[in-house]
Amino acid sequence: MALIPRLIIAIIVGTIIGLYFPEGVGNFLYTLSSLFGELLFYIVPLIILAFIIPGIAELAESPGKMLGATAGLAYLSTIVAGTIAFFVAMLIIPGLAPDIMEVEEGAGLSTFIDIEVQPIMEIMTALVTAFIFGIGVNYLKNVKGNRTIYNFVMEFREVVRLVIQRVIIPLLPLYIAGIFADMAAEGTVFTTLGLFAPLFALVIGLQIVYLVLQFTIANRLVPENPIFGSLKKMIPAYTTALGTISSAATLPVTLRSAKTLKVPEKVADLVVPLGATIHLAGSTIALTISAVTVYLLHIGTPDFLTFLPFIMMLGVVMIGAPGVPGGAVMAALGLLSTMLGFGETEQALMIAIYMGQDAFGTACNVTGDGANSIIISALARKVEGKETTSSEETTYEA
């Protein structure tokens, strides 16, 4: 059975157990969920190391000005998307649930045993370590020609991906069921569930609006690429991403679609594969709106200065995560705890909400790569035009 149906079943089963069987069955389920939570939080620093180090190490495989422009555009798009998502969420979410802070909480569930597994390092330590090693491996591979450590970190990423795919993702329904059982026992579950449907609609709607914005900007730079005509050409990539829930798995289709957008083949060959790793506008929209909602439910009213550093760091910690379904929210767990103060319940809610629409975030990411290809092609034309003009002037003066 696919992950989404299993998560839905887990939410329903957990809610029923928390409401009607809190003692015994509820506490046992919550114990299993807490033990899994320890494993999840242990692996978060490893996820950061495994995604960021290879991501930085791979960036210099295509040197030149176009690489920097592509990376900068992808990051800018991600930050703008998150910023827009924050203000849209603050405008709409409080109106959907005006009484979310007035829920009277009960005692909740308890665990039979408590086992604490300490992560190998703190989140910020993992981030700094990842940057240092990523830059170092990049230098050794591209300047010194030494690929030994590079090959090691690539294998390390595959190991962590394997753990996520074979252990973390399959056991997520158990974790979510335990958290929702606890919320049901506390009396907060129906307030949360009541927000799911409008939240999903808001996330997907804003992602579509953002894609139109991206292709509108692309059209202004390259008028021969009409907005909705270009979007239509990217539909195969969008629908494929809905099925694979992976930018990496969708890459062949995204590349083929992008090459129909009247952009040079060399531009598409650079922008699309790089975008599959670092362009995460759709995922950032989903994570930001979800985080604002959970913050409102459990902590209070967020402010932009609290969320801006979180949004800016999302564009970094999720490098390489699109290759794994659900990888973006897994990579973001550390930021959620350290920068937004999310505990176990809040992080579990983030996982449940994000997983429910992960496919649409991935589809937005890869479709936006088409718009970025158009924009980079326009910038490349301007650079080539200036270089040609400069060369002609030099020849004339000679």
E strand or H helix that includes residue 166: none
The DSSP 8-state label assigned to residue 323 in this structure reads G
- Tokens of residue 217, six digits: 């900007």
Q: What percent of the chain has pLDDT over 70?
A: 89
Question: How many CB atoms neighbour CB 94 within 10 A?
Answer: 15
Average pLDDT over residues 119-144: 83
With 70 as the cut, is the pLDDT of residue 385 above it? no
Report pLDDT for 199: 87
Options 1.10.3860, 3.40.50, 1.25.40, 3.40.1130; CATH for 3-386 is 1.10.3860
For residue 304, give the nearest of 315, 317, 319, 291 by alpha carbon.
291
Q: Look up residue 356 and give its two tokens.
A: 């429910």
At 345, the amino acid letter reads T
| Per-residue pLDDT reduced to its tens digit, 81-114 | 999 999 999 999 888 755 544 444 445 688 888 8
* Confidence grade of residue 386 (pLDDT, cut at 50, 70, 90): low
pLDDT at 384: 61
pLDDT (mean) for 335-349? 88
